[in-house]
Structure 1
Amino acid sequence: MDLDLTLIDRRVERLLAPYAGKAAPGMTIGVVRGGELVVHRSAGLASIEHGVPIGPATTFRIASVSKQFTCAAILMLAREGKIDIEANARTYLPELPDTGAVVTVAHLMHNVSGIRDMLEIMRQGGADLGVPVRPEDLLEGVCRQRGLNFAPGTRYLYSNSNFMLLGRIAERVSGQPLAAFLEQRIFAPLGMNATRMTESVHLAVPNLATGYFPAAEGFMRAPHAFPLHGEGGLVSSVQDLALWDRNLTTGRVGGDWLATELTRPAPFPDGAPNIYARGLILRPYRGVETVSHGGLWPGYKTEFLRVPSRGVTVIAIANHGGLNPNLLAHRALDAVLEGLPGIHPLPALPPKRELEKLAGRYFDEESASTVDIGLTPEGVPTFATNGMVVEAEGLADGRLTSPRSSSLFTVRPLGPDRIEVEQDAGHRRIWRRVAGGAALPEGLAATYFSEEMAARWTIAPEGDRLRCRVAGPVTHGGPWDVEGIEGDILRIHVPGTLYQAWLDARVLRAADGAITGLLVNGGRARQVRYRRV
């Protein structure tokens, strides 16, 4: 493919211009063509305190971009006959709970296991990412679960638990720490000398940029204290990820089969596609198929975006929690694709006046889930589910979708008060508008306990409202505001490091109408029962 590299370089420079020359964190963007890093520009500071700029050798926490490497380790061990990916995961981790359903190693890799997300398990116990916890706390949280989000293989839901467990399986089978396996089998052979697994976020790492959040006055260091493993423990750089990208084409490590197996899809039983392959997401963009994954950790954001058919990859990494590397990576990709044959234009959004009518809060009766649809000052629609906000884009058929999210959420307006929502596995439901500001159910104030979360919630009056205080397995949390949605449906607001999350909850009642508990849904931990005590 013939590219005007000077033009691409200037486009990338323009994308980074707002962050250049400031005493602020920033971003780095690399464009790879034919396995070579042909454009690499950076803007902003790796360390505000020391005035160190982001440069070619700067490393970052790449968070969930690590997942493809964990899957590569599993696939390499399977190739050697040491792991059967269709086997029950309890074959290798017998401490996992017996939920009555078989969860295979393949289910873990494709994010279809139904296992609840360990970060959400900890959140419901009051522990946000800034609270120090141990690796065993995370594993124990998963092992306490007696229910799943859904029957394995039937739905897709992103869960960090899957990849923490995959990392532990790799360790059990190989007989060495995951960090050592990856270093010996992948990083060293490929010359990825800046890449390493750092399970402790307190470990000093050469050239590591500090992660920051915007603050009322300037920036603050992003707090993070959770240990990291197969779900997100890597530190890397644009240069090193470019070497990995080349390997996915050359097969120097693992062979030609590795990229094929990492990107092998697993359709659902009803034939609907699953966007999640093995640590990588498969999505169409402007008429080409992309293979990608993002990473999100306090103060760090990453986007690893490949277009194998065009031999192009864009890598964007930020140490500024307020930036959007995913969006900027796609804008850099636009610069590469523009004018090439077979490239489709991005569908236009509906007029702003129509989007303003769509804005509001909607509710799904079946799942007791809510979504807030909003509009940015620039007129871009947003979807907020359980507090996570993503910008939407238009589809050719007039629907709106979340194209750069780990979840699937597509909306078709059906009039002033209803929308059709399509989620994973082709699951469609009609959601209706709710006004919000509803009164809370009488008798809600009480203490509730979940054995699976090992969390005790006490809802009681504080000032002029009800608030929830939490006693969890490792810490105490709250107070969390409790908001009425409609009837017996509640929203419990859980302030967090990454975003202001919320939990959707339905009040459970006995035959006589007395409140007996709560059924709680988070974004990645669903149908959790809290009994009134």
Structure 2
Amino acid sequence: MAPDWMRAAARANEIVANWQRDAGPGGAVVLFDRDGVREAFAGGLASIDHNLPFTPQTPNRFASISKHLLAIALLREGVPLDAPLGRWLTELPKPLAEVELGRALDMTGGLPDMMEAFWQQGVPFTATLSAEEIYALACRFPSLSAAPGTEMAYSNTGWRLGQRILELITGRPYRDIVAELSGDLGLSFRLPYDAAEIVPGLATGYWRDGESWRRGHYGFHFSASGGIAGSAADLAGWASALLAGRGPLAGMLERLTAPRHFSDGSESVYRLGLVCSRLGATEIVGHGGSLTGYRNHMLIAPALGVGVVVLTNREEEALWPALTVLAALLGQEMPAAAKAPTGLFVADEGPFWAELTPDSISFMGGYERLVEDGDGGLRSLPVYLDIRLKQDGDDRLTGLIGGVRRSLRRVPADTALDERLVGRWRDPGFGTEIEIRAGGTALMPWPSGGTVSRLMPLPNGRALADLLHGPWRSRPCLWLDADRGLRVAGHRARILQMNRVG
């Protein structure tokens, strides 16, 4: 079936018209094929402060859509993906040094995510931290979050380390490599290294605080994990060249999406900075991106040679708008929304929990949309994390989450805080402290100095904390391990190991 450009354009127009009517931040929706950009639409404001419109040529932060560019640069340089990180980064502690570069990039390496590790120690994402300060924390990690090859858990750390490796091998700043790769295709990508660096015309990122829009801020060093800035039109031009294999991107889409496997031989949907999924019977490839005030998505249907880019400077989901435009383009029906059992579920042991609404899931803080799988179960439309679940009555879910078989039971409404959790706890390696109180609260290191969080008790010596910083929510699980120490775990970082104080 030929692509329905008129139907897709109508859907794209609906999306941007809603942004325009809102008179707030906006974005651009760009349709493309192997030959280049076909149609582009935009609405809303790139800057509320200065009443500047968002256009398809407005630079925006790509966020994690940036990742696959580093993979391309590494592949072009012939860097062996099966070599351990320690081959180049000799300062890394042994658990990290032994992880293969390929696993660091495909999220199966068990590498703790830098930002979540900082969060758990009370350092907010608004803190200004350089590349060297962030790398210094990685060099202090005592362990991995999981054994390499056993689980796909989203982490930016492997991409930060991959950038460092590329720069060591080439002797060139990665920002120059990004500019050269895009420039060879007549495109203008930039890699600013921090939020203070000026990018001419850059859209301001916004998030909604109740009824008001607020400017987003991100203090960490920008890296290959998500730092590139460029326009929606340029990103669509890049994706078109990726589809066609033009210039420096010859053969790269096939190499980026080649199957990646867990240790047991099963395939992961997450490849080298791209996620492989499907829309109806059509195989699709894409990736999302999120920074404070920016939400984006890129989707490609390789067999048909078409795709869509959605870039926004508003803190709202971008996958669903992108998917509806692609569905219109392909003449596909959108998958039926899930009717999942709602509430909080938890594994019998460990820090693994999930909270479900009828059409979405938060697994240890990682959010994904859920749809019917056509076989009586639920599956994610993975932005990052592949989830496939079956319902066993009203109170149990079983299936695969990130390649790991999980069984989750509903948390009883009358669950009380386990008194064994009460007390002061300290991590000897980092000095981080948490005080859990009998009244069901905890003094958390967030930000440094402490924030009181109400705890959600879970069975068997566990509880969820709940912390907000700007538009982002952190819900670390506090749990007693077999040695009666206190562990702190999120989806992206599970390395704090605390001992009782006094």
Provide TM-score, normalisation by structure 2. 0.94
In structure 2, give the amino acid aligned to 1:417: D
CA distance in 2, matches of 1:3, 1:284: 16
Comparing 401-410 and 85-94, the one that deviates more: 401-410
Q: Tell me the C-alpha RMSD between the 2 structures.
A: 2.2
Change (3 A) 1:282 1:453: farther
Partner of residue 513, structure 1: none
CA distance in 2, matches of 1:20, 1:329: 17
- Secondary structure of the corresponding residue to residue 157 of structure 2: helix
Partner of residue 378, structure 1: none
In structure 2, give the amino acid aligned to 1:365: D
In the alignment, is residue 526 of structure 1 matched against residue 499 of structure 2? no
CA distance in 2, matches of 1:10, 1:441: 55
CA distance in 2, matches of 1:268, 1:213: 37
Shift in Å, 1:454: 4.5
Partner of residue 332, structure 1: 325
Alignment deviations for residues 410-434 of structure 1 (CA, whole Å, 9 cap, x no partner): 2211012211131133x32321111
Comparing 386-395 and 112-121, the one that deviates more: 386-395
Partner of residue 31, structure 2: 31
- Secondary structure of the corresponding residue to residue 248 of structure 2: coil
In the alignment, is residue 405 of structure 1 matched against residue 383 of structure 2? yes
In structure 2, give the amino acid aligned to 1:60: N
Matches within 5 A, 1:398-437: 398-425=376-403, 427-436=404-413
In the alignment, is residue 151 of structure 1 matched against residue 147 of structure 2? yes
In structure 2, give the amino acid aligned to 1:456: E
In structure 2, give the amino acid aligned to 1:332: V
CA distance in 1, matches of 2:431, 2:267: 36
Shift in Å, 1:247: 2.2
In the alignment, is residue 127 of structure 1 matched against residue 100 of structure 2? no
- Secondary structure of the corresponding residue to residue 149 of structure 1: coil
Shift in Å, 1:508: 4.0
Alignment deviations for residues 314-368 of structure 1 (CA, whole Å, 9 cap, x no partner): 00011111x2211000000011111xxxx5x445346x6xx4xx21211101333
In structure 2, give the amino acid aligned to 1:227: H
Shift in Å, 1:255: 5.2
In the alignment, is residue 441 of structure 1 matched against residue 418 of structure 2? yes
Does the CA-based 8 Å contact 2:434-2:442 persist in structure 1? no
In structure 2, give the amino acid aligned to 1:374: T
Gaps spanning 5+ residues in structure 2: where? none
1:271 to 252, 265, 270: 265
Does the CA-based 8 Å contact 2:279-2:335 persist in structure 1? no
Shift in Å, 1:8: 2.7
Does the CA-based 8 Å contact 1:456-1:471 persist in structure 2? no
Does the CA-based 8 Å contact 2:72-2:256 persist in structure 1? yes
Does the CA-based 8 Å contact 2:284-2:302 persist in structure 1? yes
Does the CA-based 8 Å contact 1:22-1:44 persist in structure 2? yes
In the alignment, is residue 365 of structure 1 matched against residue 348 of structure 2? yes
Shift in Å, 1:435: 2.1
Does the CA-based 8 Å contact 1:266-1:273 persist in structure 2? yes
- Secondary structure of the corresponding residue to residue 184 of structure 2: helix
Does the CA-based 8 Å contact 1:440-1:487 persist in structure 2? no
Partner of residue 187, structure 2: 192
Count of residue correspondences: 501
Change (3 A) 1:253 1:89: farther
Shift in Å, 1:443: 5.2
- Secondary structure of the corresponding residue to residue 303 of structure 2: helix
CA distance in 1, matches of 2:5, 2:228: 30
Shift in Å, 1:68: 0.4
Comparing 413-422 and 291-300, the one that deviates more: 413-422
Partner of residue 463, structure 2: 490
The percent of aligned pairs where both chains have the same amino acid is: 27
Matches within 5 A, 1:212-361: 212-254=206-248, 256-321=250-315, 323-338=316-331, 345-349=333-337, 355=340, 358-361=341-344
Shift in Å, 1:96: 1.1
Alignment deviations for residues 215-239 of structure 1 (CA, whole Å, 9 cap, x no partner): 2342111122111111111001111
In the alignment, is residue 478 of structure 1 matched against residue 451 of structure 2? yes
Does the CA-based 8 Å contact 1:373-1:382 persist in structure 2? yes
Does the CA-based 8 Å contact 1:101-1:151 persist in structure 2? no
CA distance in 2, matches of 1:452, 1:42: 49
1:501 to 470, 474, 486: 474
CA distance in 2, matches of 1:52, 1:292: 29
In structure 2, give the amino acid aligned to 1:27: G
Does the CA-based 8 Å contact 2:275-2:383 persist in structure 1? no
Partner of residue 75, structure 2: 75
1:96 to 83, 92, 97: 92
Does the CA-based 8 Å contact 1:8-1:335 persist in structure 2? yes
Change (3 A) 1:405 1:248: closer
CA distance in 1, matches of 2:153, 2:190: 28
Partner of residue 64, structure 1: 64
Does the CA-based 8 Å contact 1:437-1:485 persist in structure 2? no
Provide TM-score, normalisation by structure 1. 0.89
Alignment deviations for residues 51-105 of structure 1 (CA, whole Å, 9 cap, x no partner): 1010122011111001001111111111xxxx32221111111111112872111
Partner of residue 385, structure 1: 363
